[in-house]
Structure 1
Amino acid sequence: MGTDPVGRVGPASASGTRRGVLVIGAYYADLVFHGLSRPVRPGSEVFARGFELLPGGAFTPAMAMRRLGHDVVWSTDFGTDLFSAQVLAAARAEGLDDSGFRLHAVPVRSVTAALSSPADRAMVSYQDPVAERPLAQVLREHPARVAILPLLRYGEDVLAALEVAHGLGTRVFMDCQDVPCTLETPTVREILSRVDTFAPNADEALRLTGARSLDAAIDILAGLVDTLVVKRGSGGAVAVRDGLRCEIGSIPVEVVDTTAAGDCFAAGFLHAHLAGQSLFDCLATAVACGAAATTALGSSAAPDLAELPQWLARVPCPRTL
């Protein structure tokens, strides 16, 4: 058993056992307000038609990969609070390996209020501060084929950790999220050039690059990243690798909640990637999983292996450019 000065850690995988997927990131308890009658504006009150408290944050890609049959370790922190207890119980119910869980003797509240509409969602989040384990240490403790970083991380320590990942033969998938940085922020360009797959959405790609159009942003990022995947919501998605660009439209669905769509999209892409499938098939699987996730609240509709074929059958044909 590994130990930590602030709490108990599950059994470390320092035995050298190589796992399929390592997810590194905080849990969140998502307070999802859905069915809003109109947009929320300062000074106004809007009633939602429904409300749920659901597990979110890095729980979502970990759970989605597990449902698709992968061996998943999730490195995260839990405390003594109600939100930690709820998400920890959900993680164990999904069969996630708890060797990456660090349990603290104090509250570790991570909460997001999601104001969800069929078109998009707005979010307000809070997280209790907790001492973070060095990224390189986590990568060494839990060697895996793929590591998922659910948000853009930068800094010299991240650069060093990516070198550790490459030395271990671990491929790194990095999402973007609403991280306040640009390509001019120190180390960001270098980090993107070292990750294996980077997956911003369209707004994030524009903000990150400062480009005037999405096509221009895609060109800039594709010049930095080995594999670029850009999520366009109802416009589908684009992937670029080695000069090959493919586009796939979205699947028409009755959208209930978009909160978990991006993380389930990532899980679909990596599921196909780990099976050695083509860039087209990886993008198609990503679109299928992302669309499925929007048909229910939170990540509850993330597909499993039995459900995936019916979603793949609905994916539009890809276009190459």
Structure 2
Amino acid sequence: MLIAGAYAVDLVLTDLRGPVSAGAEVWADGLDMVPGGAFTLAMGLHRLGRQAVWAADFGTDVFSREVLAAARQEGMDEAGFRHHPRPVRNVTVALSNAKDRAMIAHEDPVTARPLAELIDTFRPSVVMLPFLQFGPDATDALEMAARHGARVFMDCQDHPGHIGMDDVRKALGQVDVFAPNESEALRVTGAGTVEEALSLLCELVPTVVIKRGPAGAVAATNGLRTAQASLAVPVVDTTGAGDCFNVGFVHRWIDGSPLNDCLAAGVACGAAAVTGPGSRNALYAPELTTWLTRLPH
């Protein structure tokens, strides 16, 4: 499996004492620094026993060192790592409460290895893309994936693009699973409801998953729709929940499990994630089995 995406260090401020507004100082009772970004996908899959190559860039800065140390502590594969003799800082400050979070990010510029080159080098059976990619380079890479028989799972994140754009429609037509969250699905499609967004995306993508936070998730494939409710858990931070959902879903999807089983694994992993800061509470395989028994049916 290939994961192509930058690391991030999440500085997570929790238990805010009031709403955040311009010109006002707000105190947070909790502070954690945890690796995030595409690290969460690679680490989460590794914890579930999956072999994954994570293509990422690191520099001489403290944030790169923090994530490298975490990756090595987890025992993750370093074959896709590149090291630069300068800072490569990727930092997200998350202001998190029990319902949602606001994020401010900084990223030092670095030219990532072309996705097509990565696919040709590592020949993965599955490619995980953490954000919406489109345009000529993405098209070439997705064609390369198809030639090598690789399946593609694509998240959306807060990246520009909508299905009125030809390049976006073409890219979505080349992936196997597209998994935006609810607000992203509405924005990308221009739909007014989740059901409408699901229908519009299903015209382009074989399998569509829409993450709905505490409401669980819905999905559709080949005309079959299914939904999975989440469970009530104490929420500490929602920053890594979507990525952890993706990990659980893909963990079952690559084995050919039914869509409802994939959705259940995703919801379980996402629910577990919000009980701690960032991706710290990403599940191991035995823990996933336990969490699945707690889901509503």
Q: TM-score range by the shorter chain?
A: over 0.9
Q: Give CA-to-partner distance per residue, 1:130-184, whole Å, 9 cap, x none.
A: 1121110011111111111000011111011101001111111100000022112
Report the residue type matching 1:45 in the other structure.
Answer: E
Quote the Cα distance in structure 2 between the aligned partners of 1:39 and 1:140. Answer: 48
Find out whether 1:228 has 2:213 as its counterpart: no
Contact 2:92 2:106 in 1 (8 A): yes
1:141 match: secondary structure: helix
Say which of 154, 165, 179 aligns to 2:134. Answer: 154
Q: Report the alpha carbon displacement of residue 45 of structure 1 after superposing the two structures with TM.
A: 1.2
Find out whether 1:238 has 2:218 as its counterpart: yes
Give % identity. 53
Say which of 235, 239, 245 aligns to 1:255. Answer: 235
> Normalization by structure 2: what TM-score?
0.98
Say which of 101, 109, 127 aligns to 1:121. Answer: 101
Report the residue type matching 1:219 in the other structure.
Answer: S
Q: Which residue of 1 aligns with 2:87?
A: 107
Say which of 138, 147, 151 aligns to 2:118. Answer: 138
Quote the Cα distance in structure 2 between the aligned partners of 1:173 and 1:151. Answer: 10
Report the residue type matching 2:252 in the other structure.
Answer: A
Quote the Cα distance in structure 2 between the aligned partners of 1:268 and 1:213. Answer: 25
Quote the Cα distance in structure 1 between the aligned partners of 2:99 and 2:61. Answer: 33
Report the residue type matching 2:71 in the other structure.
Answer: A
2:164 match: secondary structure: coil
Find out whether 1:94 has 2:51 as its counterpart: no
Quote the Cα distance in structure 2 between the aligned partners of 1:259 and 1:225. Answer: 26
Say which of 156, 179, 190 aligns to 1:210. Answer: 190
Quote the Cα distance in structure 2 between the aligned partners of 1:41 and 1:215. Answer: 34
1:245 match: secondary structure: strand
Give me the CA root mean square deviation.
0.8
Quote the Cα distance in structure 1 between the aligned partners of 2:180 and 2:97. Answer: 21
Contact 2:198 2:219 in 1 (8 A): no
Find out whether 1:61 has 2:34 as its counterpart: no
Quote the Cα distance in structure 2 between the aligned partners of 1:295 and 1:233. Answer: 13
**Residue segments in structure 1 that go unaligned for 5+ positions in a row:** 1-20
Quote the Cα distance in structure 2 between the aligned partners of 1:282 and 1:297. Answer: 24
1:89 match: secondary structure: helix
Q: Which residue of 2 aligns with 1:200?
A: 180
2:127 match: secondary structure: strand
Quote the Cα distance in structure 1 between the aligned partners of 2:59 and 2:254. Answer: 33
1:35 match: secondary structure: strand
Alignment coverage as a number of residue pairs: 297
Find out whether 1:179 has 2:159 as its counterpart: yes
Quote the Cα distance in structure 2 between the aligned partners of 1:310 and 1:38. Answer: 36
Quote the Cα distance in structure 2 between the aligned partners of 1:122 and 1:58. Answer: 19
Quote the Cα distance in structure 2 between the aligned partners of 1:132 and 1:70. Answer: 24
Q: Report the alpha carbon displacement of residue 204 of structure 1 after superposing the two structures with TM.
A: 0.2
Report the residue type matching 1:162 in the other structure.
Answer: L
**Residue segments in structure 2 that go unaligned for 5+ positions in a row:** none
1:144 match: secondary structure: coil
1:313 match: secondary structure: helix
Q: Give CA-to-partner distance per residue, 1:51-76, whole Å, 9 cap, x none.
A: 01110000001000000000111000
Quote the Cα distance in structure 1 between the aligned partners of 2:269 and 2:38. Answer: 16
Quote the Cα distance in structure 2 between the aligned partners of 1:47 and 1:154. Answer: 40
Quote the Cα distance in structure 2 between the aligned partners of 1:66 and 1:114. Answer: 25
Q: Which residue of 2 aligns with 1:18?
A: none
